[in-house]
Amino acid sequence: MLRGGWARGLVLCGLAVVGSAMATNAEAACVLKGKGVVCKGGLSAMTQLVTDKNWQKKWNTSRESTPVFRSTNKLGPGESATLLSFFAADKSGMLELSCELTIKPSTGKAQHYPMQACFAGEVTAGDVYMTGAALTVNSDGETGRTEFTIGIRNDRTGAKLTLKNGVQFSQ
């Protein structure tokens, strides 16, 4: 789990995330662009389920390097992935975020993990950061789809983003 955050450009599944793009509507200013990006109040965020065992090493490199992650939405028996969430802000300054997570398997009861601090630090407008919320997902041979809902709240403004992702477990 990462607590601080190296900022950088980010490439996920061929999706280049660039920090200079801005939307015209201030309420929905999107710094990140691409499928699955959610924007509100000058904050944009996305989530990816990555299969890289060395995702921390890829992320914790120099600012000038751009990590490339392999993502998935399917896992077979014995396979694993890590659910990561990324964000960017349209203004530089101090930022404090809290995150919550709900895991809803296709069979069984949903598990909810309440809001807790997941990032605190100085951010630079347009840079991409990772929250401190990382979840390892393992397949033990079960089948069906599991849905993940991540809530990210800007603790200073109260703006909240809701991210959704999921994985299909197969035999």
CB-based contact 131:107 (threshold 8 Å): no
Mapped onto helix, strand or coil, the DSSP state of residue 142 is coil
pLDDT tens digits, residue range 115-129? 999 999 999 998 999
Model pTM? 0.81
Task: Please list, in sequence order, all residues whose beta carbon lies within 8 angstroms of the beta carbon of residue 72, skipping any fewer than 6 positions away.
Answer: 49, 50, 51, 81, 167
CATH number for position 109: 2.60.40.10
User: What's the confidence (pLDDT) of residue 78?
Assistant: 92
- Residue 3 inside a domain? The answer is no
Tokens of 77: 């028996």
- Supply the range of the domain harboring residue 26: 10-169
- Residue 41 inside a domain? The answer is yes
User: What's the confidence (pLDDT) of residue 33?
Assistant: 81
When divided into structural domains, the chain yields a total of 1
